Amino acid sequence: MSQTIRFLLDGREVQVGGLAPTTTLLDWLREHAGRSGTKEGCAEGDCGACTVVLAEAHEGRLRWQAVNACIRFLPTVHGKALFTVESLRAADGTLHPAQRAMVECHGSQCGFCTPGFVMSLFGLYQTQPKPDDTALADALSGNLCRCTGYRPILDAGRQMYALPAPHSAQLPPPAWRNDPAAEAALLTRLAALDDGEALRIDHPSGRYLAPCSATDFARQYAEAPQATILAGGTDVGLWVTKQLKPLPLLLHTGAVREFAHAGEYRDARGNWLEIGAAVSLETAFAALLREYPEATELYRRFASRPIRNSGTLCGNVANGSPIGDSMPALIALGAEVVLRRDQQVRSLPLEALYLDYRKKDLAAGEFVQAVRIPRRPAQAGFVFRAWKVAKRQDQDISAVFAGFALRLEDGIVVDARLAYGGMAGIPKRAAGAEAALRGRPLDEAAVADARAALAKDFQPLSDMRASAGYRLQVAQNLLTRLQLELQGQFPTRIHDEESRRAAV
Amino acid sequence: MQPSEAVDLAIPADHVAAPAVQGAVGSGLAHESAVLHVTGGATYIDDQPELRGTLHAAIGLASAAHARIRRIDLAAVRAAPGVVAVLDAASVPGLNDFGPVVHDDPIFASDEVQFHGQALFAVLAEDMRAARRAARLAQVEYEPLPALLDVDQALAAGSRVLPDAHLRRGEPEAALAAAPHRLAGSVRHGGQDHFYLETHIAYAIPQEDGTTRVHSSSQHPGEVQLQVAHALGVDAKDVVVECRRMGGGFGGKESQPGQIAAITAIAARLTGRPVKLRLDRDDDMVLTGKRHDFRIDWEAGFDDEGRLLAVRFMQATRAGYSADLTGAIADRAMFHADNAYYLEHVDILSHRCKTHTVSNTAFRGFGGPQGLFGIEEVIDAVARHLDLDPLAVRKRNYYGIGERDLTPYGQKVEDNVIAELTAELEADCDYAARRAALRAWNAASPVIKRGIALTPVKFGISFTATHLNQAGALLHVYTDGTVLLNHGGTEMGQGLFTKVAQVVAEELQIDVSRIRVTASDTSKVPNASATAASSGADLNGKAAQQAARKIKARLTEFAAAHYGVREDQVVFRANRVHIGDNAHRDGGNAAATGKAGVPLSLSFAELAKLAWMGRVSLSATGYYRTPKIAYDRETLSGRPFYYYAYGVACSEVAIDTLTGESKVLRTDILHDVGRSLNPAIDLGQVEGGFIQGMGWLTSEELCWSDDGRLTTHAPSTYKIPAVSDVPEIFNVRLWERGINTEDSIFRSKAVGEPPFMLALSVWHAIKDAVAAAADYRVAPQLNAPATPEEILRSLTEARQREAEQRAGAAA
């Protein structure tokens, strides 16, 4: 057991002890490390002024991730390399291309959001040598700017690649991901941090445990079921920054080796894609999209890049919010959850996990160890759609989310799984609408019946995101969209590249 | 100090003749803090090293919209860990008020709560989290009182913060009655949270002999100084307020910082320790004022071509619980009820409604966007009624040049360029062909509908409160020739410090890198107006120019005497001062070389040193007041504005008729900034203002619960535009031919607010797309913001009306 948080800052080892485990990375930077460049704009991971970049070893390479420091607890940085806006400028004063491009393109006005944008651009610079505009916008999807209107920042994101790359002497290593020597050097330093011991912090305000094996994690949670499980912290972070809630015992998934698994799983029933409890949304989606490219909109609109880098798919599922976006899509696909309590493991269809608002079929000490998603069906006639409706395209919470998976044979719907978010206290299938479609061609008459059935399937609520009436109308209209889109006669999407291009 | 030259529409001579000094006027110099911004080196108030013993404050907020406070029990608050003291209304040594105009804004509510979220008390603790935790422990008993939450309720109850205002010209009733066509309607738009990225913050440091220094994130340090002095019961001389930069302001830090600063100052005096108060984002959104939302009822009479013959407006705005700046905002909404259109017979009635909600305040445009919103609604409705292209109707109603040029408030529009701008943009963006193509496209696209609109902006420049149109500056030249510049304006990201430094660089002909602009500071330049009304560069640029000219005159006089040349033979150029006239010398004029051994040219630094040796004062103040303006608040007539700024925008959008979602596909903007002081900064203002305006009209929705609680109090629920909302094609151009016909600073025009209203092009493009969803047969009834839900509601309603019309016609 180690009581000391160890990580690299600008490539140099830092050791921190004696702080409350819920100390955010942002507060540590600003109040303890004298790095006030990183800003707090909202303290909930929605504005990006606090964006920093982490690097960690992943399959022998460095994995770079822009994350929100404001809701990230400091102990979760243990074993990683941290870079902040102060890291980028070379000792001789040379600006990093991300910084210089921002200056040259007039990308800052009041400057308060700027460090966050610079770090998101830096994160992009480190991970993608030649991003297109979609990738660029995606990298900036978690950064709000109230002054510029973004155009100059987008220009800076393009221009930084045309500027001379920093070299190792200018920047804390590694200068650039294609600088193998620098990358190797940082990997070596990261490896040196790992003493194989689990991090455990005992502080008067609470305890933090980050076991390294699934067995330890499961046992510790079974022994202390009152513990708060901490994965990416994109929700739990707000319990601290917004609700000011004490968290006496945190059990972190991030150090558990087995929980990092994202890949194939086979059992008697077939082949699955398994996503472990500590797998980030970004990594989970990379795997999911290979199987189901129709989930691209879900991926882009799910949350900002920094949130997807921190947050986990299992966390979204386990949290079970009625407006969580992954579940309707996963339920439609027939996903299962793997639940574990100490040594006992069971699996459950995902929709069976949700009993009632914030009530789940989870025993005390039981947790979501993985999500398993069926591999793409081989048969023709498989249709999958995952659609989000919200006030804003980037980083918003759904008014309605729909996940539709259908199997058509000779034009007849033989199976329909229609799941919705935002329509009930839990993510839920539309049983009546499904029945209305089954055994019929997907035509206007069938959709009309399904629409009518939806009004019985759901009694949505009104809130600041949408009224009940709107939610139902849109839920119905998405069925119409499904039908029209499969007909393919005219554009049905404004967020779809092709129909947008046709429009311009 | 106004040069009395005739209006010269050519580029000013010194503008072209000047050899390059770095950062001269007209150059696209980067923001003075750009490198600091991108490296994390720009210091905001929360970034300053904290002094030993600093306490942190948090505010206890009321949880009733309108109630009498029966009892407040703060025992648990006081007993919480780390708490040092608790302040409430009884702790205020002076006046418990921070109202900027009317004294109806208590720093802490005492017996009556007037909005959900009003400040009741403040906790001081050893650290910020302890203070915030403790602030939630208060036990408050409320006796509920009837609450008026919106304009409709306030109108019905006759509830006002200020008297109604009425502006009238001609015979609107008679003209309405005689008009060939008449239409009436009612439309609403929402408020808007400023969402500056830096929340409100102040840091007060108690100093000797009862004096206090306050760092305040404020657009108006001079006002904060008075608010703090009143709250402390001390004199203005005992309080210094300083602001180096804000992380955004947009009007939200005009009157509002007074409360935050006053709380820290009271706490600092009480405890003798430095006190910092930084609002949590949610608290900031709940506690501080927003843009005024309006309901606008209108009636219009017009001819077959859509020419407006008479217009009546009833503008009702939700002021919130107090007056704040509502008077001037509602006035400006009346002054902009015409936008770019000549309204011969007009009647504008303005109600400033008192409600039990947060007190709304200044926000970029300051009533202007609200005024424009109303008249553009009228134009659009008229065009759709007559089945005309709304742009054609707009152009027909534009102010004339030399005729039809008197505004309803009696100011003559002398600088009208709106028709020129419109013609240029219309051709550039291929409006007519695209509109035709779009209609054809829509005919074949039942789900996705596209819309297009080209809309103008005319915006009056000056504070309508005439006395505010003044500014001061302070300029020191040191013996190494570098310059320290201070002025009454504040830097909130708009590039004011950069522009004013450029003015001084131009005047003194020195590189801008030799000039440092220091924090706004009430001890350096007194009684400064708010940096608001887009006036920052106009006022402070002129004041700084005057200071620079004083210095230059002294140096010239000194050099002439010192070298024995005429004053006109002392020329400042490119960091040097040339003594004598080369051309003359070449022509054999011996006087040019002056005394024996006279250098022909010396550096600005050398001359500064020499002048100091010669005991010449190298410090000067500058002062400016805007000429020509005069306006009678009682009759709402006169010349409130020195000049007008103009712009035009054309936007094309797509809407999804199944979900109501919208997307801006293309925007073209042509905006007149006169002769730009800094085209890069001006472009940033135009683009940023446009996107912010787009947010106001589309995704930014403020929601309240039935009991008056703001439910959209964080970026998770309140959605300002993000990166994907930028139009896919975004062509923004400053008008090359633009020039201010008035003698503004280097003939530039104010640029802060006017571009905000260019976003009305998006609004009307959305309406056009909604109209398309009902085959262009009815005028859509859409209220702002056009959220997906509102668009879907509007198009569903339009389709119903269209179906009824058809059924009616068939019957």
Name the amino acid, one letter, at A213. Answer: S
Inform me whether the pLDDT recorded for B369 exceeds 80: yes
Give domain status of residue A359, yes or no: no
Residue-averaged pLDDT of chain A: 94
Share of chain A above pLDDT 70, in %: 96
> B481: domain range?
13-30+470-625
Residue A98 structural domain: 7-193
Q: Tell me the per-residue pLDDT of B18-27, one tens digit each, with 9 for 90 and over.
A: 457 999 999 9
Query: Where is the domain boundary, A160, A176, A193?
Result: A193
Using one digit for the tens of pLDDT, what is the confidence trace for B37-94? 999 999 999 999 999 999 999 999 999 999 999 999 999 999 999 999 999 999 999 9
Distance CA B98, CA B105 (A): 5
Contact predicate B601/B592, CB 8 Å = no
Q: The domain spanning residue B141 has which CATH number?
A: 3.90.1170.50
Residue A372, in any domain of the structure: no
CA B346 – CA B407 distance, rounded (Å) = 10
User: Do B68 and B19 sit in the same domain of this protein?
Assistant: no
How confident is the model over A68-83, as a mean pLDDT?
A: 97
Nearest CA in chain A to B722: A144
Answer yes or no: are the C-beta atoms of B341 and B380 closer than 8 Å: no
- B352 and B423, same structural domain? yes
For the stretch B133-159, pLDDT in tens is 999 999 999 999 999 999 999 999 999
**Cβ-count burial B431-447 (b if 16+ within 10 Å, e if not):** beebbeebeebbeebeb
Residues B619 and B759 placed together within one structural domain of the fold = no
For B1-39, give the DSSP string: ----PPP--SPPHHHHHPPPPTT-TTS-PPPTTHHHHHH
The pair of structure tokens assigned to A39 is 């800003």
Whether A288 is covered by a domain: the verdict is no
The answer to whether residues B362 and B263 belong to one domain is no
Is residue A249 in some structural domain? no
Full-model pTM: 0.96
Which of A109, A120, A243, A247 has the most B C-beta neighbours within 10 Å, making it the best mutation to test the interface with B?
Answer: A109
Residue-wise pLDDT for A290-319, tens only, equals 999 999 999 999 999 999 999 999 999 999
CB contacts of A113 in chain B (<8 Å) are 197, 247
Which residue in B761, B197, B196, B249 sits closest to B496, CA to CA?
Answer: B249
**pLDDT (mean) for A203-208:** 97
Task: Find the CB nearest B666 among A36, A112, A504.
Answer: A504
Residue A110 to residue B450, Cβ atoms within 8 A: no
Residue of B nearest to A469 (CA): B789
List, for residues B96-109, the tens digit of each pLDDT value.
999 999 999 999 99
Residue matched to tokens 């303290």: A43
Distance of CA B21 to the CA centre of its chain: 31
Same domain, B710 and B772: yes
Answer yes or no: do B459 and B475 share one domain. Answer: no
Residue A158 resides in a domain? yes
Minimal CA separation from A451 to chain B, in Å: 13
- CB atoms B703 and A144 under 8 Å: no
Pick the last residue of a domain from B221, B250, B278: B278
Q: How many residue pairs bridge chain A and chain B with CB atoms within 8 Å of each other?
A: 277
Q: Which residue has the higher pLDDT, A59 or B345?
A: B345
**In chain A, how many domains are there?**
2
A contacts of B789 (beta carbons < 8 Å): 399, 466-467, 470
Cα dihedral sign, A383-A384-A389-A393: negative
Q: What is the pLDDT of residue A196?
A: 86
Say if the Cβ atoms of A39 and B196 lie within 8 Å. Answer: no
Q: Is it the case that residue B595 has pLDDT exceeding 70?
A: no
A35 DSSP assignment: -
Among A150, A165, A193, give the residue marking a domain's end: A193
Contact B44 A39 (CB under 8 A): yes
Residues in chain B with CB shorter than 8 Å from the CB of A465 are: 717
- According to the model, what pLDDT value does residue B20 have? 79
Residue B192 resides in a domain: no
- Taking an 8 Å cut-off on Cβ atoms, the answer to whether A109 and B38 are in contact is no
Q: Rounded to 5 degrees, what are φ and ψ at A468?
A: -60, -40
How large is the average pLDDT for residues A206-229? 98
Indicate if B478 and B559 belong to the same structural domain.
Answer: yes
Supply the DSSP string of B665-692, one letter for each residue. Answer: EEEEEEE--BS-S-HHHHHHHHHHHHHH
Helix ranges, B166-256 (H)? 172-178, 221-232
The answer to whether residue B798 is domain-embedded is yes
Determine which of A47, A392, A489 to mutate to test the interface with B (most B C-beta atoms within 10 Å). A392
Taking residues B261-268, what's their average pLDDT?
Answer: 98
Q: Which residues does chain B have within 8 Å of residue A495's beta carbon, measured at their own beta carbons? A: 661, 663
Cis omega before residue B715 (within 30°)? Answer: no
Establish if B229 belongs to a structural domain: yes
pLDDT at residue B12 greater than cutoff 80: no
CATH number of residue A102's parent domain: 3.10.20.30
Same domain? For B594 and B523 the reply is yes
Distance from the Cα of B676 to chain A's closest Cα (Å) equals 16
- Alpha carbon of A408: minimum distance to chain B alpha carbons (Å): 24
What is the distance, to the nearest Å, from the Cα of residue B164 to the centroid of all Cα atoms in its chain?
24
Q: Is A285 exposed, middle or buried (0-12, 13-18, 19+ CB in 10 A)?
A: buried
- In the listed set B601, B625, B649, which residue is the last one of a domain according to the structure? B625
Q: How far is B344 from chain A (nearest CA, A)?
A: 37
CA B448 to chain centre: 35
The ipTM assigned to this model is 0.97
B167 domain residue, yes or no: no
pLDDT at A195: 87
pLDDT of B589 reads 39
| Chain A residues close to B41, C-beta within 8 Å | 37
- Answer yes or no: do A144 and B792 touch at CB < 8 A: no
Query: How far does CA B600 lie from the centroid of its chain?
Result: 48
Closest CA to B755 of B667, B653, B646, B664: B646
Task: Output the domain CATH number for residue B607.
Answer: 3.30.365.10
Chain A: residue whose CA lies nearest to B495: A109
Among the residues of B413-535, which ranges form H helices? 418-428, 431-443, 496-508
| Residue A123 maps to a domain | yes
Binned at pLDDT 50, 70 and 90, residue B599 comes out as: low
For residue A335, CA distances in Å to A271, A273, A289, A327 come to 12, 9, 15, 9
* Span B157-209, pLDDT tens digits: 999 999 999 999 999 999 999 999 999 999 999 999 999 999 999 999 999 99
Q: Which residue of A has its CA nearest to B446?
A: A490
Query: Which amino acids of B are annotated catalytic?
Result: 753
DSSP A216-275: HHHHHHHH-TTSEEESS-TTHHHHHHTT----SEEEESTT-SGGG-EEEEEETTEEEEEE
Helix or strand or coil: residue B704?
Answer: strand
Residue B158 lies in a domain: no
Do A36 and B46 make contact, defined as CB atoms within 8 angstroms? yes
| Section B254-263 average pLDDT | 98
Q: State the pLDDT confidence band at A1, using cuts at 50, 70 and 90.
A: low
Same domain, B448 and B482: no
The residue out of B571, B592, B625 marking a domain boundary is B625
User: Are the CB atoms for B782 and B770 separated by under 8 Å?
Assistant: yes
Residue A169's pLDDT band (cuts 50, 70, 90): low
Question: B776 pLDDT exceeds 80?
Answer: yes
d(CA B259, CA B214): 12
Q: Give A224-240 pLDDT, tens digit per residue.
A: 999 999 999 999 999 99
Question: Would you call A35 and B40 a contact, using CB atoms and an 8 Å cutoff?
Answer: yes
Q: Which pLDDT belongs to residue A173?
A: 53
Question: Cβ distance B502 to B485 under 8 Å?
Answer: no
**Structure letter (DSSP) for residue A304:** -
Is the residue at B38 inside a domain?
no
What gap in Å lies between CA A5 and CA A233, rounded to an integer?
17
Answer whether residue B164 is part of any domain. no
Task: Please judge whether A108 and B46 are an interchain contact, meaning their C-beta atoms are less than 8 angstroms apart.
Answer: no
Residues B529-548 pLDDT 10s: 999 999 999 999 999 999 99
Of A108, A399, A499, the CB nearest to B31: A108
Contacts of A145 in chain B (CB under 8 A): 197
Closest CA to B54 of B229, B274, B266, B252: B274
In a domain, A233, yes or no: no
State yes or no: pLDDT of B584 exceeds 50. no
Q: Is B727 a member of any domain?
A: yes
Residue B304 sits in the same domain as residue B424: yes
Is residue B574 packed enough to be buried (19+ CB in 10 Å), middle (13-18) or exposed (0-12)?
A: middle
Gyration radius of chain A's alpha carbons: 23
| Whole-number Å distance between alpha carbons of B322 and B361 | 10
Inter-chain CB proximity B35 and A103 less than 8 Å: yes
**Is A43 in Cβ contact with B31 (below 8 Å)?**
no
- In the predicted model, is pLDDT for residue B1 greater than 50? no
Residue holding tokens 């291309």?
Answer: A97
**Chain B environment of A106 (Cβ under 8 Å):** 28, 30-31, 34, 680-681, 683-684
Residues B438 and B313 in one domain: yes
Of A106, A119, A99, A151, the closest CA to residue A49 belongs to A119
Backbone torsion region of residue B329, taken as left when φ is above 0, otherwise alpha when ψ lies between -120 and 50, otherwise beta: alpha
Residue A13 forms part of a structural domain? yes
- Residue B445's nearest CA partner among B727, B729, B667, B769 is B769
**Pairing outcome for strands A206-210 and A249-252:** parallel
Mean pLDDT in residue range B110-127: 97
Number of domains in chain B: 3
Among the partner-chain residues A148, A396, A464, the one whose CB lies closest to the CB of B688 is A148
- Inspect the interface and report whether the beta carbons of B656 and A149 lie closer than 8 Å: no
Q: Above 90 in pLDDT, residue A180?
A: no
* Same-domain status, B216 and B263: yes
Chain B residues touching A110 at Cβ < 8 A: 196-198, 245-249, 492-493
Domain CATH code at residue A470: 3.30.390.50
> At B265, is the pLDDT very low, low, confident or very high (cuts 50, 70, 90)?
very high
Sign of CA dihedral A72, A73, A79, A82: positive
